[in-house]
Structure 1
Amino acid sequence: MLLRSSEPRVHQWQSVLLTLALLQAPFLAKAAEPTRFYERRAEGWFWYQSEPEIAPPRPAEPEPAPVVIPTAPPPEAAPIIDPTPAEPAPLSAAWLRAHLDDYRLQAIDDPRPTRVALYLYLQKLALDKASRFTETFQRVVQSDPYLDETTRRPVGNYANLLNRVAGEQREQVLQTLAKEAGIWLFYRSDCPYCAAQAPVLRLLAERQGFTVQAIALDGRPLPGGAFPDFRPDAGQAQRLGVVSTPALFLVRPPDGVAPLAQGLLSLTDLEQRILLAAHEAGWIDADSFARTKPLVADLTLDASRAFPTTIPEDPEAFLALLREQAQGNALAPDSTSADSPAAP
């Protein structure tokens, strides 16, 4: 009974809900319709709305400037040189040197009298030019003491006199030097050249008074008992750069050392090297060293002394420059003209 009484109520509520849904449908449809034209007049004519601002594009970062590596400028083009040099003046020495042999070969290939005579005349011209040059050469040398080699050193028997005087001066200078300098001899006992050098050193010690100190690289004496007061090497050879024996050094206490040779020397060569080494080291003065030379006057023309950087174009000016240089050398302090004997 109770179940039957509740069914009419359920149907009643369903009818009410359906009626409400139908009543709300027009309103929902109206809200979903798009807004009509006349309902949007508040937005402005033609609906000019301000467009949303667009952020300006971020400027691109500038690319780093390329690194420019400096390059050396291209080398200047070499001047164009005419491959054909100018022809020398006809019949000049240069022309004869370039063409005389050609005329000789032509005469050999075609020995007609004309060609042979032409070659012979050209040859005579060249010989006559050479003869005139030789004669003038001799006259100029005789008239200019700076060009005459007999001014520096006489010839013939007078040269022997000059050699004798120079030898006396050399011995005097060597004997003076021997009072303050000596000779070191580095040797090996099995070195035959060292044994051959020993008598020369003994003669030098006897004649000039030099003290000779022998230094044995192997700690053993020389054959024959030469220089018995030898000393074993204590590193001096390595410090002095000894690479061969016999090795000779000129030594001046307390610390002066000048190399002479690493090999055999005759007595004359040894004395000359001693003088040269002492002069280079400043142990003998220039005047003493000059007196040991067999020269009357040292008229050496040295281009390294105060010569100008440009050469005069005028031959007379160029000649005057060279003569002035020769005179300056003759009057220099190391000249021997004032102290050396003149040739009779």
Structure 2
Amino acid sequence: MVSHFKFYARTSCICLAFLFFTTQGVEGSFYQDKARGWFWYEDPEVEMGDDVQEVTQTQKDQNEKSVQTEVTTAPNYGEQLQKYKKTLEDKKAKALMSPTYSHVKDYMTAQKDMSDRASLFSEQWQRVVITTPALNPEVKNPTSHYISHVKKDEDRMARQAALARMAKTYGLFLFVSNNCSYCKAFAPVVKTFAEAHGFEVIVISLQGSVDADIESLFPSIWKNNGMAETFGIQSAPALMAYSAKDDDLIPITYGATSLDTLETNVMALMQPQEKDDGGENYA
């Protein structure tokens, strides 16, 4: 009985000692890393097996295929339009060549669909123009009657300013010939234009004397001393703009023309010269 008691006592002491050292190890771990706190939890590292890696790679391949499918399945509107037009033409040809009730009705239905699409396109176009100033020509060139005259007045004033500035650099050579009815009719137009914008005009007679009607309009009349040949003038009337400063000759018109056309020609032909010189564009 005593021996059994000693055996149990010894065994109990050994167990208590083992528990003591085990507890010390746990407590030591906490005190060594107490910043983690009581509730620190770390996920265990999971090693991906071959099966998991294969699934991941398969998913990646499927995603790439999905993206490629979206790109390749994007609608090709150009091809759709060509097919639509061809279908309409085929229905039209069938209705013309075989005008049965069903063929004509089929073509009329297709034509109505095209008309509806065109109407919708036109409506959307108008909405875009109204809501997008950069695409609205009415912003810079109004067509309303009560507004368009304002634009015309602005253009006229800008044109007059540009022509007056040109007159400071350029003079006009009017080539005429004797007994030329067109020269007599054109001379007053040139006179009006020159006085309106300040151009100096020199009349050059291709042959002989100048008609009295023309001579009464322009005091400066020169005889042809080879200038007509130099400038390539072969018939009259002809009007040239010349700048002694730049030694620049610009043909304005060959033959008689109206005052409006004369102004338009001068602006169109002389404006680029002004822009090259760094002037403003008044066109």
Query: The TM-score by the shorter chain falls in which range?
Result: 0.5 to 0.7
Q: Distance in 1 between matches of 2:179 and 2:82?
A: 62
Q: Distance in 1 between matches of 2:231 and 2:124?
A: 54
Amino acid at match of 1:245: A
* Corresponding position of 1:160: 149
Match of 1:127 among 115, 136, 140: 115
Q: Does 1:244 align with 2:232?
A: no
1:208-250 CA deviation, whole Å, 9 max, x = no partner? 2211100001031035244353111111111111133211111
What is the CA distance between 1:134 and its match in structure 2?
Answer: 1.0
**Structure 1 residues not aligned, in runs of 5+:** 1-87, 294-344
Match of 2:205 among 212, 216, 237: 216
Q: Does 1:142 align with 2:137?
A: no
Q: Distance in 1 between matches of 2:200 and 2:138?
A: 39
The TM-score with structure 1 as length reference comes to 0.53
* Corresponding position of 1:230: 221
Q: Larger helix proportion, structure 1 or 2?
A: 2
The residue matched to 1:214 in structure 2 has which SS? strand
Pair 1:148–1:98, CA change in 2 (3 A): same
Identity percentage of aligned residues: 29
1:67-111 CA deviation, whole Å, 9 max, x = no partner? xxxxxxxxxxxxxxxxxxxxx989943234334243234234434
**Structure 2 residues not aligned, in runs of 5+:** 1-75
Q: Does 1:289 align with 2:281?
A: yes
Match of 1:275 among 249, 263, 267: 267
The residue matched to 2:138 in structure 1 has which SS? helix
* Corresponding position of 1:194: 183
* Corresponding position of 1:4: none
Q: Does 1:183 align with 2:188?
A: no
Q: Does 1:112 align with 2:137?
A: no
Match of 2:255 among 253, 260, 263: 263
The residue matched to 2:135 in structure 1 has which SS? coil
Pair 1:124–1:225, CA change in 2 (3 A): closer
Q: Is the 8 A contact 2:176 2:210 kept in 1?
A: no
Pair 1:90–1:220, CA change in 2 (3 A): closer
Q: Distance in 2 between matches of 1:233 and 1:191?
A: 16
Q: Distance in 2 between matches of 1:192 and 1:245?
A: 10
Alignment of 1:79-94 (within 5 A): 92-94=80-82
1:255-289 CA deviation, whole Å, 9 max, x = no partner? 23222121222212222322333332237866643
Q: Distance in 1 between matches of 2:114 and 2:81?
A: 7
The residue matched to 2:106 in structure 1 has which SS? helix
Pair 1:90–1:147, CA change in 2 (3 A): closer
Q: Is the 8 A contact 2:167 2:197 kept in 1?
A: yes
What is the CA distance between 1:128 and its match in structure 2?
Answer: 1.5
Q: Is the 8 A contact 1:104 1:119 kept in 2?
A: yes
Q: Distance in 1 between matches of 2:269 and 2:95?
A: 60
The residue matched to 1:107 in structure 2 has which SS? helix
The residue matched to 1:259 in structure 2 has which SS? strand
Pair 1:200–1:117, CA change in 2 (3 A): same
The residue matched to 2:242 in structure 1 has which SS? strand
* Corresponding position of 1:314: none
Q: CA RMSD in A?
A: 2.7
Q: Distance in 1 between matches of 2:256 and 2:78?
A: 57
Q: Distance in 2 between matches of 1:245 and 1:184?
A: 12
- Give aligned pairs, total: 204
Alignment of 1:12-27 (within 5 A): none
1:288-310 CA deviation, whole Å, 9 max, x = no partner? 432xx3xxxxxxxxxxxxxxxxx
